[in-house]
Amino acid sequence: MAQEEIAAILADHLKWLRDEGGKRASLPGANFPGANFPGAILSGANLSGANFSGANLSGANLSNTNLSGAILSGANLSGANLSDAILSDAILPAPCSEGLN
């Protein structure tokens, strides 16, 4: 998926969230390995089964997002909001043990 297409989907989703028309982001099974989504607003989106392995989702708003079955291994989720996200059967990043003894 081209960056321009992703930007258009995110813009439509933001309009949907603001009740300004637009359309809810629905990308089940989408393939985004290594993609760059820092600070993205994806609250309420359907991203079930999407592949975000190695993606940058730092600071993203993923609250109320359907991430069931999503692949998030190696993804950067630092500062991301995952409140009330659906994570059943999702493959999550391994916990960071750096600096722990």
Query: Would residue 6 count as lying in a domain?
Result: no
- DSSP, collapsed to helix, strand or coil, labels residue 71 as strand
What letter would DSSP give residue 10?
Answer: H
Number of domains the chain contains = 1
Query: Would residue 3 count as lying in a domain?
Result: no
Task: Give the containing element (helix H, strand E) for 95.
Answer: none
pLDDT tens string for the chain (101 positions)? 777 888 899 999 999 999 999 999 999 999 999 999 999 999 999 999 999 999 999 999 999 999 999 999 999 999 999 999 999 999 998 775 444 44
Tally Cβ neighbours within 10 Å of residue 57. 25
Q: Identify the burial level of 5 via C-beta atoms within 10 angstroms of its C-beta, where 0-12 means exposed, 13-18 middle and 19 or more buried.
A: exposed
Query: Would residue 86 count as lying in a domain?
Result: yes
Query: Would residue 19 count as lying in a domain?
Result: no
User: Whole domain around residue 69: which residue ranges?
Assistant: 24-94
Whichever domain contains 89, its CATH number is 2.160.20.80
Q: Tell me the whole-structure pTM to 2 decimals.
A: 0.87
Query: Would residue 5 count as lying in a domain?
Result: no
